[in-house]
Amino acid sequence: MTLFYNAKIYTPNGIVSWMLVKDGTISELGISNPPVDINSIDMKEKIILPGLIDAHLHVFGLGRHLEVLRLKGSGSISEMQNKLSEYSTDNEWIEGRGWDQGIFEDKRYPHKDDLDRIVSDKPVILFRACHHIAIVNSIALEIAGIDANTTDPEGGEIERDAKGEPTGILKENALRLITPFIRQSREIRKRMILAGIKECLGMGLTSVQPNDGGTWDIYKELQEEGKLPVRVSLTLNHDELSRENTPTPGSRINRLYFDRVKLFADGSLGAQTAAMREAYTDTGKLGIPIYSQEEMNDLVAVAKKAGARVEIHAIGDRAAEIMINAVEFNNITDRPILTHAQILGKDLVERISRLGIIANIQPPFIITDGVWVDDRIGLSDRREYSYAWKTMLDAGIHVAGGSDAPIESSNPLLGMYSAIFREDINGKVWREEERLSFDEALQIYTEGGAYAMKEEHRLGKLEKVIWQILLY
């Protein structure tokens, strides 16, 4: 038994000053008269929060991000080229990420020739900051067998020049033509996951809910080797359900858990591939739904039949509508998750609430998106239901907070800051009326996250354990 006293302990019923912990669970809390004559720790008025939870990130991607060529902040294509020529790796492929043509002087996408000039003997793939677009060199195109005769896959685009030759730019589903060819040994993947986990732990996270396809066996191995210092509720890809080595949904090994699969309903706002009900204000485009309504209904039915929960990426309101329709059509009652939930509408918020759909939001997005989101969506009605975190909480929706790391920093305190202040990178506040209080921000990164991983009975709150189950 250990007593923590002289502390500021955040509980659902306000701040208390002491907490008694027995066998890893809380057995008593109080404001005055802490128990005496037991092992005790003076907290010297420090704050104790419930363990912070990230409900949507990519731990493997985060670890990979720490290793690959970083292009964020490159002001021109020649700056990208310089960074590429200075980078060396023992990997078979050269991977990079973080470029954004929006901040280049000439605003043009890089071309495969720009990369070939620097690296012509190894495949290179450099992802745009949004990760929905990449530039590749000629060898990478060759390896994937992409040439002038390759047709665009559904929901994707192989950008071409006037002669029909691929320029090296691949968008959305066209990326799937090449990503299966990117080779990393299992050893390297394990190293990357471990690096990601360490980063999360360093950020103060105690539970993470990564979308890391094809990684169950690696996480399992890490758990068995005693190398999982945080709880991991893993989301695998939907297409893994049919694979032999995929565990049964509901499988748990100590801190590792699996019960849900991921689907994409659309792309990103930055690349204008998020699917909208009304056209983008600046370009008149509608975005690209990845699946038709019928296809999405079928995919959700497959997950239901397998006993898996669904986590569906939807950024635009059209994509959210397709997700919500599929949940309703299949009568899904097992805590379906709408991840991102950025552009919505009054009708959609009502349906999300009524159908018990979890809104898995990424508050740090406002730092980047706040700068240009009005250009995309204009001042129409949908703006009132965009990044509508307060509105969703007030509608009784279970809201969970996440970072989408490595897209944004995995620091949960930065996420809470964004949820509270809603400032873009220039410090301008975007839709002040949707700001959360500190308690609400804490709630989405603790209780909200625990609910999303079905652990709210024992995680996410500092309070007495009422009914105790197995300790993990």
Q: Are 302 and 370 in contact (CB under 8 A)?
A: no
**What's the one-letter identity of residue 327?**
V
Least spacing, CB of residue 235 vs Zn ion, in Å: 9
Give the 3-state secondary structure of residue 317: helix
Least spacing, CB of residue 463 vs Zn ion, in Å: 31
C-beta of 235 vs 330, nearer to Zn ion: 235
Q: Which single residue brings its beta carbon nearest to Zn ion?
A: 404
C-beta of 137 vs 235, nearer to Zn ion: 235
What is the rounded CA–CA span in Å between residue 144 and residue 102? Answer: 28
Least spacing, CB of residue 279 vs Zn ion, in Å: 25
DSSP per-residue string spanning 126-163: EEETTSSEEEE-HHHHHHHT--TTPPPPTTEEEEE-TT
Strands 69-70 and 309-314: what pairing? unpaired
Nearest to 343 by CA among 314, 363, 366: 314
**What's the one-letter identity of residue 63?**
G
DSSP per-residue string spanning 412-471: HHHHHHHHHH-B-TTS-BS-GGGPPPHHHHHHHHTHHHHHHTT-TTTSSS-S--SS----
Least spacing, CB of residue 300 vs Zn ion, in Å: 19
Residue 212 binding Zn ion, by CB under 5 A: no
Least spacing, CB of residue 291 vs Zn ion, in Å: 17
CA 373 vs. chain centroid, Å, equals 19
Least spacing, CB of residue 244 vs Zn ion, in Å: 26
What is the rounded CA–CA span in Å between residue 391 and residue 387? Answer: 9
Least spacing, CB of residue 207 vs Zn ion, in Å: 17
Query: Dihedrals φ, ψ of 9, to 5°?
Result: -105, 120
C-beta of 179 vs 248, nearer to Zn ion: 179
Residue 44 DSSP code? T
Least spacing, CB of residue 316 vs Zn ion, in Å: 15
User: What are residue 136's DSSP bridge partners?
Assistant: 125
Q: Which of residues 379-408 bind Zn ion (CB under 5 A)?
A: 404
Least spacing, CB of residue 333 vs Zn ion, in Å: 25
Enter the tokens of residue 333: 């009652």
Mention every residue, 6+ apart, whose C-beta is less than 8 A from residue 270: 102, 128, 129, 130, 132, 368, 369, 372
What is the rounded CA–CA span in Å between residue 441 and residue 421? Answer: 10
Give the 3-state secondary structure of residue 117: coil
C-beta of 72 vs 117, nearer to Zn ion: 72
Least spacing, CB of residue 228 vs Zn ion, in Å: 21
Nearest to 377 by CA among 283, 265, 264: 283
Least spacing, CB of residue 66 vs Zn ion, in Å: 17
What is the rounded CA–CA span in Å between residue 322 and residue 274? Answer: 12
Residue 125 DSSP code? E
Per-residue three-class SS string for 341-403: CCECCHHHHHHHHHCCCEEEECCCHHHHHCCCHHHHHCCCHHHHHECCHHHHHHCCCCEEECC
Q: Which of residues 3-62 bind Zn ion (CB under 5 A)?
A: none
Q: How many residues bind Zn ion (CB under 5 A)?
A: 1
Helix axes 317-329, 346-354, angle to 10 degrees: 30
Least spacing, CB of residue 57 vs Zn ion, in Å: 7
Q: Where on the chain is the footprint of Zn ion (CB under 5 A)? A: 404
